[in-house]
């Protein structure tokens, strides 16, 4: 009975630690967005996570904008950025070495990947 209890407890602890590691996307992430008209836009996201709240900035050649309405729910997240008065909602999924994101680019979905910038 004790062995079963300790095994179950150990598995639950391992799961919680792995989940916490995967869900923390704090830091700098870089990638390239290919717009619907074929332009490559280099982007950098500087994320800050506080529980389920996601904040930070999104940087591109056009400048830096704050991340608004950011939320993390398990391995999924969402936020929006506002550029020149237009909102650009983002949704994404967290992987161990990357973030897969979908951006609503004026009614068209754009899918792209960003990777952790360890510099």
- Is the model's pLDDT at 59 over the cut of 60? yes
**Which pLDDT belongs to residue 106?**
81
24 band by pLDDT with thresholds 50, 70 and 90: confident
73 band by pLDDT with thresholds 50, 70 and 90: very high
The single-letter DSSP state of residue 117 is -
Provide the CATH topology of domain 2-116: Lipocalin (2.40.128)
Mean pLDDT on 72-85: 95
- Report the chain's terminal Cα–Cα distance, integer Å: 49
Global pTM exceeds 0.95: no
Look up residue 29 and give its two tokens: 């992430």
Long-range contacts of the stretch 26-29 (C-beta < 8 A, 24+): 27/116, 27/117, 28/116, 28/117, 28/119, 29/99, 29/114, 29/115, 29/116, 29/117
- Is the model's pLDDT at 66 over the cut of 90? yes
């Amino acid at each position: 009975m004790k062995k079963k209890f300790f095994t179950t407890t150990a598995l639950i602890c391992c799961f919680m630690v792995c989940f916490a590691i995967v869900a923390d996307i704090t830091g700098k992430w870089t990638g390239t967005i290919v717009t619907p008209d074929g332009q490559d836009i280099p982007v950098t996201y500087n994320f800050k996570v506080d529980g389920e709240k996601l904040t930070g900035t999104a940087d591109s050649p056009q400048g830096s904008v704050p991340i608004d309405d950011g939320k993390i729910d398990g391995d999924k997240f969402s936020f929006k950025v506002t550029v020149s008065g237009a909102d650009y909602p983002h949704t994404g999924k967290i992987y161990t070495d990357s973030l897969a994101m979908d951006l609503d680019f004026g009614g068209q979905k754009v899918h792209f990947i960003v990777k952790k910038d360890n510099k």
